[in-house]
Structure 1
């Protein structure tokens, strides 16, 4: 096993370029973990060590690891029809039934689905559909997309441009024009954030703007939960200027926030809604865009010829079958409700950690999305110097405690993000909180 592990590390360093990773660190230290088994909320690596997966891998393993039901569905579908194209109006039962199912659980006015292979493709698709909608309505100048600072919408060409985290632009620059960024409601009131967006609209010219896109909860930006009135005011502003509202539900969809879709927490209906991740709980790559009846009817009436947009794996039969089973499990096991209740328990645990530690600022959860901010002075929210690498040290302390989490260090923040599988129970939440408590106190002691 030792020889095998050594060979795996060497092969990893030689052949595997990791996404969103340090190439230098990989070459110097090898992979941080090589996992070989997942079971429920746990991951086990090749050394035999088991960890609580407090991030659901990449915010996506909603029903937990090792669900044989999905493997059985995939096997059955592969034996019957593993793949079939959806181009040229070709179709198949799994995609048809999945589109119907998603329409039934989405907000009332969203009933037609375009399928993709993942989140970046979904957001790129939403931008193209929004622009196409305005073009066929006779307003081709409406091309601009308003996003927000700290937003993450993916790494394809357009979705990178929509992403509001400059580090993602530094690698190769932004790729497409007509993307602008307004303020996000992080350490700002609803009024300030809405005023920023209004200024952007007026400066760019409302007649040039196709859509506004927002994550209901900003994930990679630091689990930023908006004020209760924020999205209601966003909806009013979009209606005032006749701008389409795109809800990026790639992280927040399929029960993660305690509702089937995150935007439902504020009783707001978008015009388009993008999804991925939790639709299959990560068991197969998949995603899509749900559009409103008004958009769909306009496209049916005014769009002529071929819609020249699509992906090889749009509506993949096996992925569609897995998604249908995954949604069935979320509903049958009442995982939305569990996310809501376990999220409340997790928040109480975070609040106890804050009471015991001197380096914890704001703590927050919405369903099973949560964050702990580490600050030098909780009273003033003074941040640690960037070279202290407090979040990185906290992540290592959590690894030592057997917990996998994710740090956010953009804009001088030290935020630890949490998104455990929706199947987590009370005892597991309490164990997670206890380990986080010990890790935070260890970091505090190290800082002195």
Structure 2
């Protein structure tokens, strides 16, 4: 069967049988998938038509060590050949889960030394909300159950995680958000203080934040913000949750983004980069103090857990992924190539007058689109047009076009080299030039 015939067959099957997440159902049904990828190597993907593209997003911010890493396949095969899976309920355990938990405790800042495993970021978020509420209940403070999060923050699509997400379109999919979630202005100390005063510290379980907001437009916490948040939480007896699902495992040029600010949260959420997307895995890390309280005060079963919590194969892949991150010094490469990426953004900013702010921290960054005269948003979004032109030229990026944003965002694999960064910038230059002709 010819490549074209295979591609058309897959398009037809895709339309009929595959309901895509976070996609336009109408567009998928009418037009089919823009790409059906069949293989990947390094920072590149190849589709069923034979088109090769540079993955400027690490898929969904997560393929940190790049595509085609046979070591991870071998680690999975070796573990599956011995013990693919056994449950972790009723205190059962397995060696890869134990070893990965210990390794994460070694890597995490401060005394974040105990881990609850999940299958991904949404589960990690919902787990954290339940754990903090359980924690306060055990301490005799059951009214401390509200979760404060930030506008433009993204935390997942489970019912709790959706409710914590501070992006309004996610709340209108259904008409039944979970109770006890409150949102404050992004990176605003005054807004946080006002919220605590209004809601009452005795009713607040935790404050939830991304050190760098990913899906909300790559908004980077200003220097001093997290330090002040830490102090406010301590003053008001509120737990601090850092959502590092996107930023963990080297994405920002540190193993965890909160290290940039020398802040240790009470809970740290992870997923994505822990296995570089090769197999689903996530988790919640808690401090020794919280772990100790949970152990000493509980007298029954912790009635929370997922079938695949501590999945042996997933944890074995996570261990090998971290080994590669460390062996190849990819966290430092993220820092260095992040500087190259930001320099490239600044060059583009000088060349195109409809580029507003550019920003990056390690290998996560953004370019904003603004009207060249008013410096306000265009009447119609420009970022999707830039993304489409980039895709035509062999570069995959994402756009953020809600809450008044018109932004192209980037998150390439941590293995990217200087030549590949330059290729990314070159394609963006051509895409921007094509859009400029239409303005």
- The whole-number CA distance in structure 1 between the counterparts of 2:223 and 2:4 is 53
Work out whether 1:229 is the aligned partner of 2:221: no
Contact 1:373 1:414 (8 Å CA) reproduced: yes
Q: CA deviation at 1:141?
A: 0.4
Q: CA deviation at 1:418?
A: 0.2
Work out whether 1:413 is the aligned partner of 2:405: yes
SS in 1 for 2:294: helix
Gaps of 5+ in 1: 186-192
Q: CA deviation at 1:174?
A: 4.4
Deviations 1:281-302 (A, max 9, x none): 0000000000011100101110
**Matches for 1:434-445 after TM superposition, within 5 Å:** 434-445=426-437
Q: CA deviation at 1:5?
A: 1.3
Work out whether 1:256 is the aligned partner of 2:251: yes
Q: CA deviation at 1:29?
A: 0.6
Deviations 1:323-378 (A, max 9, x none): 0000010011100100000000110000000000011000000000000001113x
Report the RMSD for the aligned CA atoms in angstroms. 0.8
Contact 1:160 1:174 (8 Å CA) reproduced: no
- The whole-number CA distance in structure 2 between the counterparts of 1:291 and 1:129 is 10
- The whole-number CA distance in structure 2 between the counterparts of 1:6 and 1:109 is 53
Relative to the length of structure 1, the TM-score reads 0.97
Relative to the length of structure 2, the TM-score reads 0.98
What is the aligned residue count?
437
Deviations 1:226-256 (A, max 9, x none): 2111111111111111100000000000000
Of 7, 18, 21, 1:19 maps to: 21
SS in 1 for 2:123: helix
Contact 1:384 1:412 (8 Å CA) reproduced: no
- The whole-number CA distance in structure 2 between the counterparts of 1:62 and 1:89 is 32
1:366 corresponds to = 361
Work out whether 1:218 is the aligned partner of 2:213: yes
Cα 1:138–1:204, aligned 2, differ >3 Å: closer, same or farther? Answer: same
Work out whether 1:169 is the aligned partner of 2:164: no
Q: CA deviation at 1:173?
A: 3.0
Q: CA deviation at 1:28?
A: 1.1
- The whole-number CA distance in structure 2 between the counterparts of 1:175 and 1:373 is 30
**Matches for 1:69-88 after TM superposition, within 5 Å:** 69-88=71-90
Deviations 1:369-394 (A, max 9, x none): 000001113x7531111xx2311111
2:55 corresponds to = 53
Q: CA deviation at 1:409?
A: 0.2
SS in 2 for 1:274: strand
Contact 1:206 1:241 (8 Å CA) reproduced: yes
Of 118, 121, 125, 2:120 maps to: 118
SS in 2 for 1:181: strand
SS in 2 for 1:416: strand
1:190 corresponds to = none
Following superposition, which runs of at least 4 residues in structure 1 exceed 4 angstroms of deviation?
none
Q: CA deviation at 1:98?
A: 0.4
